[in-house]
C-alpha cells in the first residue's frame, strides 16, 4: 500500500501542465465536478433496465471512496468514480483552455472514450494543442499520446482507447490556446469541458460520430446508447478582448 501511495504521489507531480517558464499564466476560472456510476450487471448481459446510472456527487464523497477496499456487496454491482475539471487561463494576452478527466477507479468497459471542450464560434484553436493520457501501473507510470482529434467551429475533441490492463491511476488531459475569430470585441468566453465514457464496446468510427459545442459532446443517435452522460464542467470569462 505504501509503495502504491508513493507511485500515485509522484504521478500527480508529473501531471502538472508542462508550460513554458517564460509564459505568464493567469488563472481565470476552474470548475470541477465529481461523478459516481453504478453498474448492476455484466455489461454484455444486462437488460435495458439495468443500464449504468451516473450521478453527480460531492468532493467529500469522491475522495472518501477507497479503490483498494472491495465493498461487501454482490459481485454484480460495480461502482466507478471519475472527476472532470475545466480550466481557463489568460496567457500573455491570449487564452488557454484545458479539460482533465481523472479516474479514481477504472471502469469495467474499456473502449473508445471521448474528451473535449466546446466554445463560442467567436474564438478558434490557435495552437499549443496537447493531448496526453497519464497511466500508472504497479510497475510505474507512462504517458500515451495516441488519439484521433476532431475539430469543429465550436469545439475540439479527442477520441482515445482506454488501456485494458491493470491500472491504478489514469488521467486524460486536453488543452490548447485560442485566438479571436472575429473583428468584434469579445465580452464573454466559455470553455465547456465534457467527457463521454463508452459503457459498451464501440469502434473508432462509431466514437467519431459526435459533435462538440457549448452543450458539450453531442453523440449521434446511432451511438448515444453506448455512452454514459455526465454534466459538463464550464469555465467562464467576461471582459473586453
Cα 180 to Cα 126: distance, rounded to the nearest angstrom: 9
Cα 125 to Cα 36: distance, rounded to the nearest angstrom: 32
Q: What is the mean pLDDT of residues 64-75?
A: 63
- Beta strands of 40-168 (E only): which ranges? 53-57, 78-91, 94-105, 112-118, 123-137, 140-144, 148-152, 155-161
Candidate from 68-82, 156-170, 185-199, 201-215 with smallest mean pLDDT: 68-82
**Cell, residue 176:** 490548447
Q: Which residue has the cell 454491482?
A: 77
Q: Which residue has the cell 468584434?
A: 184
Count other C-beta atoms under 10 Å from residue 62's C-beta: 19
Find residue 101's DSSP bridge partners. Answer: 84, 172
Check whether 131 has a pLDDT greater than 60. Answer: yes
Check whether 202 has a pLDDT greater than 60. Answer: yes
Q: Which residue has the cell 475539430?
A: 151
The pLDDT score that the predictor gives to residue 65 is 83
7 contacts: CB under 8 Å, gap ≥ 6:
136, 138, 140, 141, 168, 169
- Classify residue 140 as left (phi > 0), alpha (psi -120 to 50) or beta: left
**Cell, residue 225:** 446508447
Check whether 83 has a pLDDT greater than 70. Answer: yes
Cα 170 to Cα 109: distance, rounded to the nearest angstrom: 14
Cα 228 to Cα 196: distance, rounded to the nearest angstrom: 6
According to DSSP, the β-strands at 140-144 and 123-137 are antiparallel
**Cell, residue 218:** 453531442
pTM: 0.85
* Every domain of the chain and the residues it spans: 2-238
Check whether 11 has a pLDDT greater than 80. Answer: no
Count other C-beta atoms under 10 Å from residue 154's C-beta: 18
Cα 213 to Cα 163: distance, rounded to the nearest angstrom: 27
32 contacts: CB under 8 Å, gap ≥ 6:
59, 83, 84, 85, 233
Find residue 31's DSSP bridge partners. Answer: 86
Q: Are 97 and 192 in contact (CB under 8 A)?
A: no
Task: Select the more confidently predicted residue: 151 or 22.
Answer: 151
Amino acid at each position: 500500500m505504501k509503495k502504491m501511495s508513493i507511485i500515485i504521489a509522484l504521478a500527480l507531480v508529473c501531471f502538472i501542465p508542462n508550460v513554458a517558464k517564460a509564459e505568464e499564466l493567469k488563472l481565470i476560472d476552474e470548475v470541477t465536478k465529481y461523478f459516481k456510476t453504478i453498474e448492476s450487471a455484466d455489461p454484455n448481459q444486462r437488460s435495458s433496465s439495468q443500464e449504468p446510472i451516473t450521478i453527480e456527487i460531492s468532493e467529500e464523497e469522491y475522495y472518501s471512496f477507497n479503490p483498494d477496499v472491495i465493498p461487501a456487496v454482490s459481485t454484480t454491482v460495480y461502482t466507478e468514480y471519475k472527476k472532470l475539471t475545466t480550466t481557463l487561463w489568460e496567457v500573455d494576452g491570449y487564452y488557454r483552455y484545458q479539460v482533465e478527466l481523472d479516474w479514481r477507479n477504472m471502469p469495467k468497459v474499456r473502449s473508445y472514450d471521448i474528451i473535449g471542450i466546446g466554445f463560442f464560434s467567436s474564438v478558434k484553436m490557435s495552437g499549443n494543442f496537447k493531448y496526453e493520457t497519464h497511466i500508472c501501473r504497479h510497475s510505474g507510470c507512462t504517458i500515451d499520446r495516441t488519439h484521433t482529434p476532431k475539430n469543429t467551429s465550436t469545439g475540439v475533441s479527442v477520441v482515445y482507447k482506454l488501456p485494458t490492463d491493470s491500472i491504478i491511476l489514469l488521467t486524460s488531459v486536453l488543452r490548447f490556446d485560442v485566438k479571436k475569430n472575429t473583428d468584434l470585441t469579445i465580452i464573454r468566453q466559455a470553455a465547456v469541458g465534457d467527457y463521454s465514457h463508452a459503457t459498451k464496446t464501440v469502434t473508432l468510427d462509431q466514437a467519431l460520430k459526435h459533435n462538440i459545442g457549448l452543450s458539450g459532446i453531442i453523440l449521434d443517435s446511432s451511438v448515444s446508447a453506448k455512452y454514459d452522460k455526465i454534466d459538463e464542467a464550464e469555465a467562464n470569462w467576461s471582459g473586453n478582448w
